[in-house]
Amino acid sequence: MTREQLETQQIPIYFAAVLSAVALGLLASDTAHHLEALVTPAIAVLMYAMFLQIPFLDLRQGLGNRRFIGALLLANFILVPLLVWAITRGLVAHPAILVGALLVLLTPCIDYVVVFTHIGKGDSRLTLAATPVLLLLQLLLLPLYLALMLGDSSNVAISITPFVEAFVLLIVLPMALAVLTSAGARRLPAVSAWNDAWAWLPVPAMALVLVVVIASQISVVLHDFERLLPVIPVYIGFMLLAPAIGFVSARLLRLPATEARSVTFSAATRNSLVVLPLALALPENMRSLAAAAVITQTLLELVAELIYVRAVPRLVR
């Protein structure tokens, strides 16, 4: 199997991983629960593998398309947060679920969105080049959004320290190592060979993360399913409205069809796997329920993406 063939089979691989994880989590829940300790290391490996595919050293070229970047920022950091604020007001009486929903819905995806954009006939190269911008802005803006949307009435006490630790371990450190690797690959054959070998790993690493995350959390999701019911209409509403927000943003900036599809996928696809450790870093009284809310969004989003890859190319012309 070539690397290109592996990449074209990503979606079946991911769904096989999800089904395997659900089976493991339900049939061997005690064993699967111990996989929670592997969530952070597995995601860190995934992020390093993904960051190696991002052209950090050629970022200026990717940022040259100002209308595309403008539409991407308008959708993800102005219109989507307004949508999230509006549709989560009904969760104020459920603080743990509210925090989980805000964590996942306010952060645009930086990894498998590239895959779905490619399958959905968008410009995946532009999406990939814009990933560092999306990443840095969500790091800066997420605490502000949480402070504004949680307010004083939610009685949620969130320590900033676990968030900083998670961001450093999952994003800053893998990104710094990836940049150093990419720089070294241009000068040293050994580093270039290392870089080429890691180019095979994003798909297996993503599958591993899905197995570890879902297997370790699915029993919690099912155990708390009745408590999670209020967030499901929120997620469904987001999945219906967020693509429209991406499309409107692209139309306002007069983007061609392939770029408009990229913005549409970016607006609709969230950073669930990366923010899960942030949910697990919450205070004990809300940690498991917030994490279950994040996992619930992941499961629903994977189904929605199958619809998007068919519908977006037909609707966004």
List the CATH number of the domain containing 14: 1.20.1530.20
Domain range enclosing 79? 3-315
Q: Give the integer Cα–Cα distance in Å for 234 and 270.
A: 14
Contact 309, 15 (CB under 8 A): no
CB count, 10 Å around CB of 20?
15
Going by pLDDT thresholds of 50, 70 and 90, the confidence category of residue 20 is very high
Average pLDDT of the chain to the nearest whole number: 86
Predicted structure pTM score: 0.81
Contact 276, 297 (CB under 8 A): no
The beta strand positions in 87-246, using DSSP E, are: none
pLDDT in tens, 190-205: 888 998 888 888 889 8
For residues 238-248, average pLDDT: 97
Total count of domains within the chain: 1
Which has the higher per-residue pLDDT, 250 or 138?
250
CA distances in angstroms from 11 to 36, 51, 91, 199, listed in the order given: 24, 20, 32, 18
3-class secondary-structure state, position 60: helix
Q: Give the integer Cα–Cα distance in Å for 88 and 101.
A: 8
For residues 138-143, average pLDDT: 87
pLDDT in tens, 40-68: 888 888 888 877 877 666 566 656 789 99
Does the pLDDT of residue 153 top 60, yes or no? no
DSSP character for 28?
Answer: S
